[in-house]
Structure 1
């Protein structure tokens, strides 16, 4: 298995962690991505919740979005494997005046120290694609969510992810390398209905999206800038191969000949 850096966020070096944090924040400023977040927050009635859990919170993009919701008077608890990302999430929330509605702690989704039914809503935003066992994580999320509460799962269908390259004969090979270097479960969002049923949850809503960019990348710009180091760090490509892929993608971005696309899905699950 490749070393998906998000799966081992507590073990990567400082440079990789900074690239990951920058990518999370860049996506969190993209209007399309924010609309996807708002769609599931609205469907799950998060603004009415008193206790919200944000699992795999990263730099706190979603936790801050929730805390800033009009009418939200509750509290968001963010959990992430990386103490460094937790510190960044705390600092960003404090700088935006949201410290009184947010708490961030380092922790592991495989064993949360919360009591059963403690939260009204649990959010798993771009988390399950990076887990060794998403089924166990979903069961644990259901455990800490109250009866009648919502579990939200949002992630990319990374098996659909593609970046066109200068050599069309190698495009599929490079796509596979990119996917292997950045995620652990590229097909997990297709399995979500089955995983939900096994965890005792029902599918209430499913949102589907396509982000595709041609010419100049905006959403995918961060990926273009980090794919080289990630290919090397994960052990998928040699430094020479990774540099050639990164150079090709950066040239396409500069020349406005870039093409990239990926499907995303959001599920609102309900605990009976």
Structure 2
């Protein structure tokens, strides 16, 4: 596996390639990331992963400085998964001057849910992904693979690629879960032993919400969402939201939106760890 730290070295490594398949990450890799790399391999003529902890998407009180950085383990996992090129820029390489030009996603999609509780998050995400696309895929286009666990992020990136007419295919990877149903996440490592046992309550709450939604008239939706929030709060969580939205645009469902068109999404803090998850139904 070739490791490129500078944009110039990356472009030299990819100069003869016509269709890279790209998996951007912030490192601290788990089996979900590796599944995306394996999914990407047959989709291009070279498989590229990136590791970059992007300061722009962290709020001042969030965990940028303490975000786990596990370089040696990450490299070993990527080599074993068949990654060809790892792009691991230093902050000065990717942002050699203050990043005053930024991507501002459509507020109708980006200012709800995660965007409401993490203001500016999707500006940071859109900006770094656009820049990574320019570095990795800018010469010829290609394919990029993103996980469905970050459901709203996936939608923001798809809309960005479509509106900027980028020659990039966005492919979604299914959420990888532990045996008890908890979605794999780099932040799961923050959980203590008892918190880890309790964390499965979030996907369970989403399954229950989806099941109740399917069985009840649409008019009962707001009450079902509030019940889900209250039940999780009663277990000691601090929920930001548990809600059902349309898959197409993340807007609240109408009476015409039934099973096969919906997704239940949740975000909640357990102790000091904020977890997100979703369930299509």
Normalising by structure 2, we get a TM-score of: 0.35
Normalising by structure 1, we get a TM-score of: 0.36
Larger Cα Rg: Structure 1 or Structure 2? 2
1 or 2, which has the higher strand percentage?
Answer: 1
Higher relative contact order (CA 8 A, sep 6+): 1
